[in-house]
Structure 1
Amino acid sequence: MKGIILAGGSGTRLYPTTKVISKQLIPVYDKPMIYYSFSTLMLAGIREVLLITTEKDLPAYQELFGDGSWLGMDISYCVQSEPRGVAEAFILGEKFIGNDSVCLVLGDNLLCGNQVTEMLQTGTKIEKGALIYGYYVNDPKEFGVIEFDENKKVISIEEKPQDPKSNYAIPGIYFYDNQVVTYAKNLQPSSRGELEISDLNQQYLAAGDLQVELLGRGIAWLDTGTCEGLLEATSFIYTIQKRTGLYLACLEEIAYKQGYITREELLDLAQPLCKTDYGRYLLTVAQDEF
């Protein structure tokens, strides 16, 4: 399975900060926002990643990640010239996807919890159809929303509804079989002028090939696309790391524990940072203290 991170868009909800910097490069406590999305793919065991961003922001991401070899990853890049919708990622990434299945992660999403790795690895085993998740939120109007019948069977998916039919929002992580490219090409722009990911999921639902898994209280999902959400996520990460001493979305640690890089390679990454808390943490990880 291959992975795609969508880090495009204009980030208007975080203006004026996003006038000069990509939304997904804004720090969430001590790391760029996109680290959290990237860590999601790494925890899923996905090593080939396509990062889609704007032409203006492309050099910054290339400087941040390079070709990914320092993490034992293979990273390539693609430009989305205009914000034409999340589902366009599969059209832009058609050659990258090839004959494989694919996991799409939005660059402003954060997942955390003991069950996340198991959840993600289940998603990578999908052979046919699509797998998405539902997460209970107080106000789902800004998300894709899942509608259920009286037997808890999914009957519709609606993008940013004014009158949501449930409180179950769809987090920005999706697993698809190779049919997703064909489905994406068949989409028509919505009233917003975008190729909606909810319309794509609706096609899988109509074909009887959509699986929906509801996330329980053991998993936290945070959307960092607004100022309030960014503040909440920063406080959340700070609290967890301060209390446990363990870092979230530490890409070097994940790469080491997944076997993508050796201890020697981890130490090489840590040494230039040894005067920082981040570098000292990497040295501790290399000593297998966690």
Structure 2
Amino acid sequence: MVTGIITAAGLGTRSGLDGKFRKELLPIYDKIDNRLVLRPVIDVVYRRLREYGCEKIIIVLDPADRMSRLYVESNFENFEIVFQEEKRGFGNAVYIASQAAGSSDFVLNAGDGVISTSSYYEKICKSKSTNLNVFRVDHPEKYGNAVLDEVNKTVVEVVEKPQHPKSNFAIAALYFFKNDFVHFLDQHTIELTDSINNYIKAGNRVSYNIIDRSEWISIGRKEEYFKVLERSFINNNTEKS
């Protein structure tokens, strides 16, 4: 069994929100029964994971976030909510969720981003090794950065927003982790990249998929939200599967 983990405990201050309404609830375009609809990005993520192999979903929320909790409890099934009581980073949120995942492999997806092509999630859920999804960018210093061994098809190193990037590959916040990865997480983990690097240094294989930049739909700064809507609209009108 593969478990899905969705992290949605951040305040989303870069998105221009007030902390009461979280960016995971902002709508993007998607298709239901071949109909184009608008729905919250966390809803799109949840349904992708459920449709393509995650029998159980663990969702990390801020205990003060009543709106997201109400939406999740009203619309989702087969899920468990865990809370990040203190704002201690993405890595800490993943650690909290991993404690509820037990011994299963897990797909980790940040609640504010999704790969546009829905069927791509089937490939992710069937991964054989810990796996990252990366895309080429012009300004890698603004992203989590992945250094790749393109001969052996492995990830050599990951760095969170490096001042001097070693590659132009950014990391999408969609990962597949084998269950042994949990041994490299603890309650003091802040950046997930630190745990991934320690996992690699211990001799574990981390593979990667290169996706097109336009495939990764992520809600970031408020000035770019209209571009997110536009891209999700275009992608859903051109997607073949």
Normalised to the residue count of structure 2, the TM-score between the two structures is 0.83
The 1:208/1:133 distance shift into structure 2, 3 A limit, reads farther
Determine helix, strand or coil for the equivalent of 1:179. helix
Are the aligned partners of 1:146 and 1:166 in contact in 2 as well (CA < 8 Å)?
yes
What residue in structure 2 maps to residue 132 of structure 1?
A: 132
Matched residue type, 2:55: R
Cα RMSD for the two superposed structures: 2.8
Give the CA deviation at 1:133.
1.8
- Provide the C-alpha distance between the structure 2 equivalents of 1:94 and 1:228, rounded to a whole number of angstroms: 33
User: Which residue of the other structure, out of 209, 214, 218, is the alignment partner of 1:214?
Assistant: 209
Are the aligned partners of 2:28 and 2:41 in contact in 1 as well (CA < 8 Å)?
yes
Displaced runs of 4+ in structure 1, greater than 4 A? 149-153
The 1:151/1:47 distance shift into structure 2, 3 A limit, reads closer
Does structure 1 residue 230 correspond to structure 2 residue 237?
no
Does structure 1 residue 37 correspond to structure 2 residue 32?
no
Pairing of 1:1-290 with structure 2 (within 5 A):
1-15=2-16, 17-29=17-29, 30-57=38-65, 59-66=66-73, 73-113=77-117, 116-123=120-127, 126=128, 130-148=130-148, 151=151, 154-185=155-186, 195-217=190-212, 220-241=215-236, 243=237
Q: Which has the higher strand share?
A: 2
Are the aligned partners of 2:135 and 2:213 in contact in 1 as well (CA < 8 Å)?
no
Are the aligned partners of 2:4 and 2:107 in contact in 1 as well (CA < 8 Å)?
yes
- C-alpha offsets along residues 29-48 of structure 1, whole Å, 9 cap, x if unaligned? 52112123223312431021
Give the CA deviation at 1:111.
0.4
Determine helix, strand or coil for the equivalent of 1:66. helix
- Provide the C-alpha distance between the structure 2 equivalents of 1:114 and 1:219, rounded to a whole number of angstroms: 14
Matched residue type, 1:235: E
Determine helix, strand or coil for the equivalent of 2:231. helix
Determine helix, strand or coil for the equivalent of 1:170. strand
Where does structure 2 lack aligned partners over 5 or more consecutive residues? 30-37
Q: Which has the higher helix share?
A: 1
Q: Which structure is richer in relative contact order (CA contacts within 8 A, separation 6 or more)?
A: 2
Aligned length: 231
- C-alpha offsets along residues 77-100 of structure 1, whole Å, 9 cap, x if unaligned? 111122212222343124421121
Give the CA deviation at 1:164.
1.2
